[in-house]
C-alpha cells in the first residue's frame, strides 16, 4: 500500500521498468549519476515532497532492484521521503489524493501511469535521444566534481545558474563568487555554469595572478592609443566577453588600484578603456564569475582587498568543500566510486580490479589531499601511465595500485626535528601564559612514548586515576587543537579546521 507520508503530497514517480542490471553490489550503475542528478532536478523543479520508485512485478529481481535504488536516492537526498511501489499497487496510487509527476529512467512505462489523477501532462525522461558529446562532457564534469552528491550544493548551484541567466530587466546582481581551496574545481565549475547559463555566448577565463600589475587595468578594461608607450586601441576582457561570462579567477591577486576601477565599473555598469578621457564609455553586457582560494575577509583586514568591492561581488557565493570533507560525508563512498569511475574513463578507459579499487578507496579516505581533486586526478593519471609501462592492458591490479600508493606516500614531506618545536610555539600563541606549562608537558609526554596510553600515564602521573589513559589523553589534548599522530616525530599534529 502507498505509505502514509505520500498521501496528500506531491509525489515524483520514478519508473525503473526492467533495468535488472541497474544495480551492482547495492550501487547503481548504468548512468546512475546522471539519472540521480536528473531526478534531483525534477524534484526541485516540481517541488515534490516524496519519491515513489515504481517497479514491474513481472521483472525478475525487480523488488530488490527498486529497494536498492530507493536506498541510493534516500542517501543522495536525505530530506526527501522515498518508498517503492509495485505495478500491482497502482489502484492505491489512483485512490491517493496526491499530485504526481512522472519521471522515467527506462523505456516503455505502463500506459496507466499517464492516467493517474493529477498527473503532470508531460512526462520527463532520462532516456530517449542520445545527448550531444558536449552535454555528455558537462554531465561527466558534474559527476566528477561531486557537486551533484550534495543537495545543499545542488540548490546553491541552481541559484547561481538563475543569476547568470537572469534578464537585464530583473536588475539582479551580475556577480557570483566561487571560493575554496586550490584544486577543488572552481575553474571547471565556472566553465560548466557559463556553458549552461549562456551556451552560445563567449566565455573568457582570466587568471588574475598572471596579470602584470602595471598592465592589469588595460588588459581587463581595454586601452586607447597613446595611453602608455606602444599602446593601441584594444578591447579588454570585459568587452571580449560581450553578452557572455567573464571569469576572473584568483581575484584576490588584483592590485588595489585595479580593484577600485573594477568597483566603479560594477556600480555604474559602464567602463572606460584605460587612457580614455572623453565619452560615456562602454556598457557592460557580461555577467561575472569571481574565484579565489583566499579568505577575502582576512585579505580585507590585512589591507590587501577592498571591503566595498567584496560586498559587491559576495552577494551570491558558493564555497566548494575540499575533497577530504566530501569523502567524510554520508555518501562519501558513493561519491568516491563515481569519481574513480569518471576519471578512469577520462584517462584511457583504464579498469581497476575490485581489490585495487578497495585499496585506493581506503587510502583516499585516510589521506588529506592538500591538492584536492586536482591531486586525485594526478594519481589516476599515474595509474593510467603505469598500465602502459607495465603492459597490463589498461588494467590496474591491487599490486600495481599498492605500488602507486606507496610511491605517493614517499612524496609526502617528512617532518623535520624543528617542526615539533614550531608546532608547540604555534599552539602556545593561542593560549595565555598560564597554559604554556601544560602544553609543554603534553608535548614532552607525547614525544617520549609511542602510544597514547603510555603518554597519558606520564601526563596524568600523580593526578586523578583514569580508566583509559589513551582516551583520556587524546580527549584532553583536543581542547588545545592538537591530536595524537603516530606518524609525527612528536606524535602530535594540529587539528585542521575545515
How is 55-93 classified by DSSP, letter by letter? E-TTSTTHHHHHHHHHHHHHHHSTTSEEEEEEGGGHHHH
For residues 40 and 73, give the distance between their C-alpha atoms in angstroms, rounded to a whole number.
9
Q: What is the pLDDT of residue 9?
A: 62
* DSSP assignment letter at 274: B
pLDDT over 70, % of the chain: 73
Q: Mean per-residue pLDDT for 196-225?
A: 89
Q: What is the pLDDT of residue 387?
A: 92
Q: Mean per-residue pLDDT for 190-217?
A: 90
Q: What is the pLDDT of residue 469?
A: 82
* DSSP assignment letter at 82: E
Alpha helices in 242-331 (DSSP H): 256-268, 296-301, 307-313, 323-327
Nearest alpha-carbon partner for 146 in 284, 375, 325, 316? 325
Per residue in 6-33, pLDDT tens?
A: 665 667 777 765 544 444 344 444 445 5
The pLDDT of residue 57 is above 80: no
Q: What is the pLDDT of residue 231?
A: 65
Q: Which residue has the cell 599522530?
A: 485
The pLDDT of residue 354 is above 70: yes
Evaluate whether 136 touches 27 at the Cβ level (below 8 Å): no
Angle at 206 between CA 202 and CA 207, to 5 degrees: 160
Q: What is the pLDDT of residue 2?
A: 64
The pLDDT of residue 353 is above 80: yes
pLDDT band of residue 137 (cuts 50, 70, 90) is very low
Q: Which residue has the cell 609511542?
A: 450
Q: What is the pLDDT of residue 145?
A: 46
Angle between helices 469-478 and 436-448 (to 10 degrees): 140
Q: What is the pLDDT of residue 98?
A: 53
Residue 325 grid coordinates: 570533507
> pLDDT: is 440 or 1 the higher one?
440
Beta-sheet pairing, 482-484 with 492-494: antiparallel
Per residue in 407-440, pLDDT tens?
A: 888 876 554 444 577 888 888 888 887 788 889 8
The residues, any chain, with a CB within 8 Å of residue 303's CB and separated by 6 or more, are none
| Sign of the CA dihedral running 152, 252, 247, 315 | positive
For residues 256 and 122, give the distance between their C-alpha atoms in angstroms, rounded to a whole number.
53
Nearest alpha-carbon partner for 259 in 326, 209, 329, 307? 307
Angle at 390 between CA 384 and CA 396, to 5 degrees: 45
The pLDDT of residue 120 is above 70: no
Q: Mean per-residue pLDDT for 295-303?
A: 89
Residue 15 grid coordinates: 519508473
Per residue in 74-117, pLDDT tens?
A: 887 787 888 888 877 766 666 655 555 555 555 455 666 655 54
Whole-Å CA distances, 46 to 12, 37, 74, 85, 497: 8, 14, 18, 21, 37
| Sign of the CA dihedral running 294, 295, 298, 299 | positive
pLDDT over 90, % of the chain: 24
The pLDDT of residue 246 is above 90: yes
* Residue 445 exposed, middle or buried by CB count within 10 Å (0-12, 13-18, 19+): buried
Q: What is the pLDDT of residue 24?
A: 37
For residues 162 and 174, give the distance between their C-alpha atoms in angstroms, rounded to a whole number.
11
Q: What is the pLDDT of residue 418?
A: 46
Q: If DSSP codes are grouped into helix, strand and coil, which group holds residue 238?
A: helix
Nearest alpha-carbon partner for 230 in 241, 242, 215, 244? 215
The residues, any chain, with a CB within 8 Å of residue 52's CB and separated by 6 or more, are 2, 6, 11, 12, 13, 14, 82, 83, 84, 85, 93
Q: Mean per-residue pLDDT for 299-327?
A: 90
Q: If DSSP codes are grouped into helix, strand and coil, which group holds residue 409?
A: helix
Q: Mean per-residue pLDDT for 302-314?
A: 93
Q: What is the pLDDT of residue 30?
A: 43
Residue 303 grid coordinates: 589591507
Evaluate whether 139 touches 34 at the Cβ level (below 8 Å): yes
Evaluate whether 494 touches 484 at the Cβ level (below 8 Å): no
Q: What is the pLDDT of residue 305?
A: 94
Q: What is the pLDDT of residue 287?
A: 94
Q: Which residue has the cell 536525505?
A: 78
Q: Mean per-residue pLDDT for 61-68?
A: 76
Mean pLDDT of the chain: 78
The pLDDT of residue 480 is above 60: yes
For residues 116 and 103, give the distance between their C-alpha atoms in angstroms, rounded to a whole number.
13
> C-alpha 321: how far from its chain's center?
6
Which residues are bridge partners to 483 per DSSP? 493
The pLDDT of residue 399 is above 50: yes
> pLDDT: is 337 or 11 the higher one?
337
Per residue in 140-196, pLDDT tens?
A: 344 444 454 455 666 778 788 888 988 877 888 899 999 988 888 899 889 989 988
Mark 193-221 as b/e (b = at least 16 C-beta within 10 Å).
Answer: bbbebbeebebbbbebeebeeeebbbbbb
Amino acid at each position: 500500500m502507498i505509505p502514509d507520508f505520500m498521501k496528500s503530497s506531491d509525489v515524483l514517480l520514478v519508473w525503473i521498468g526492467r533495468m535488472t542490471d541497474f544495480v551492482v553490489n547495492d550501487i547503481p550503475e548504468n548512468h546512475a549519476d546522471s539519472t540521480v542528478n536528473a531526478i534531483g532536478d525534477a524534484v526541485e523543479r516540481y517541488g515534490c515532497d516524496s519519491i515513489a520508485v515504481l517497479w514491474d512485478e513481472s521483472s525478475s529481481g525487480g523488488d530488490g532492484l527498486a529497494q536498492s535504488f530507493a536506498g541510493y536516492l534516500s542517501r543522495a537526498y536525505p530530506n526527501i521521503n522515498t518508498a517503492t511501489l509495485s505495478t500491482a499497487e497502482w489502484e492505491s496510487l489512483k485512490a491517493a489524493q496526491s499530485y504526481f509527476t512522472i519521471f522515467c529512467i527506462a523505456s516503455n512505462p505502463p500506459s496507466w501511469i499517464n492516467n493517474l489523477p493529477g498527473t503532470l501532462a508531460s512526462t520527463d525522461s532520462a532516456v530517449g535521444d542520445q545527448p550531444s558529446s558536449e552535454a555528455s562532457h558537462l554531465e561527466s564534469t558534474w559527476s566528477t566534481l561531486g557537486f551533484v552528491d550534495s543537495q545543499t550544493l545542488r540548490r546553491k548551484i541552481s541559484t547561481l545558474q538563475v543569476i547568470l541567466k537572469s534578464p537585464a530587466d530583473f536588475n539582479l546582481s551580475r556577480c557570483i563568487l566561487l571560493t575554496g581551496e586550490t584544486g577543488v574545481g572552481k575553474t571547471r565549475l565556472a566553465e560548466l555554469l557559463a556553458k549552461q547559463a549562456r551556451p552560445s555566448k563567449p566565455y573568457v577565463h582570466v587568471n588574475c595572478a598572471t596579470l602584470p600589475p602595471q598592465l592589469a587595468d588595460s588588459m581587463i578594461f581595454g586601452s586607447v592609443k597613446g595611453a602608455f608607450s606602444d599602446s593601441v586601441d584594444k578591447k579588454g576582457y570585459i568587452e571580449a566577453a560581450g553578452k557572455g561570462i567573464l571569469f576572473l579567477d584568483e581575484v584576490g591577486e588584483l592590485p588595489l588600484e585595479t580593484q577600485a576601477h573594477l568597483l566603479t565599473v560594477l556600480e555604474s555598469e559602464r567602463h572606460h578603456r584605460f587612457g580614455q578621457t572623453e565619452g560615456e564609455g562602454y556598457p557592460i553586457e557580461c555577467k561575472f564569475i569571481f574565484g579565489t582560494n583566499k579568505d577575502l575577509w582576512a585579505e580585507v583586514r590585512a589591507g590587501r582587498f577592498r571591503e566595498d568591492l567584496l560586498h559587491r561581488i559576495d552577494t551570491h557565493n558558493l564555497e566548494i568543500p575540499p575533497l577530504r570533507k566530501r569523502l567524510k560525508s554520508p555518501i562519501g563512498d558513493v561519491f568516491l566510486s563515481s569519481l574513480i569511475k569518471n576519471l578512469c574513463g577520462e584517462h584511457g578507459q583504464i579498469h581497476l580490479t575490485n581489490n585495487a579499487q578497495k585499496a585506493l578507496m581506503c587510502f583516499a579516505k585516510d589521506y588529506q589531499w592538500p591538492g584536492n581533486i586536482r591531486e586525485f586526478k594526478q594519481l589516476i593519471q599515474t595509474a593510467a601511465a603505469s598500465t602502459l609501462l607495465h603492459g597490463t592492458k589498461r588494467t590496474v591490479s591491487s599490486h600495481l595500485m599498492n605500488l602507486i600508493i606507496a610511491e605517493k606516500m614517499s612524496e609526502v614531506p617528512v617532518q623535520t626535528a624543528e617542526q615539533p618545536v614550531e608546532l608547540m610555539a604555534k599552539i602556545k600563541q593561542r593560549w595565555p601564559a598560564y597554559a604554556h606549562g601544560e602544553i609543554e608537558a603534553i608535548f614532552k609526554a607525547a614525544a617520549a612514548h609511542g602510544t597514547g596510553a603510555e603518554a597519558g600515564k606520564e601526563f596524568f602521573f600523580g593526578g586523578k586515576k583514569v580508566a583509559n589513559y589513551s582516551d583520556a589523553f587524546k580527549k584532553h589534548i583536543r581542547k588545545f587543537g592538537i591530536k595524537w599522530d603516530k606518524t609525527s616525530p612528536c606524535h602530535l599534529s594540529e587539528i585542521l579546521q575545515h
